[in-house]
């Protein structure tokens, strides 16, 4: 019985850890884009809604959050001009 409880707790802790990594990535990416590249919340939200899966894939492939932010500002900056 103890084995089952420990196993379930390990699964729960692992899921929580994986979830916080994703939240941390999103918050860090948003912060970099806002502070260093001048993106607004609306611009970020619009861009994220269309490119979320591709950007998450870049992170899973080992790119740093800063590299992804540079990529976004370079190739997806048309979202910034859409709000001007």
How many independent structural domains does the chain possess? 1
Query: Cβ neighbours of residue 71 under 8 Å, at least 6 residues apart?
Result: 58, 63
> Is the pTM for the entire model greater than 0.85?
no
Gap between the Cα atoms of 29 and 71, Å rounded: 11
Running along the chain, 84 residues long, what does each successive block of 10 average in pLDDT? 86 79 87 94 92 92 93 87 60
pLDDT for the residue 46:
92
Show the domain range for 39. 2-81
Task: Report residue 75 as tokens.
Answer: 């190739």
pLDDT for the residue 83:
55
pLDDT for the residue 82:
61
* Phi–psi pair at 58, nearest 5 degrees: -60, -40
């Amino acid at each position: 019985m103890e084995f089952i409880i420990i196993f379930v707790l390990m699964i729960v802790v692992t899921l929580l850890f994986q979830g916080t990594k994703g939240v941390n990535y999103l918050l860090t990416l948003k912060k970099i884009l806002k502070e260093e590249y001048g993106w607004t919340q609306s611009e970020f939200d619009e861009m994220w809604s269309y490119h979320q899966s591709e950007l998450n894939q870049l992170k899973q492939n080992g790119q740093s959050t800063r590299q992804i932010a540079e990529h976004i500002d370079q190739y997806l900056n048309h979202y910034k001009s859409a709000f001007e």
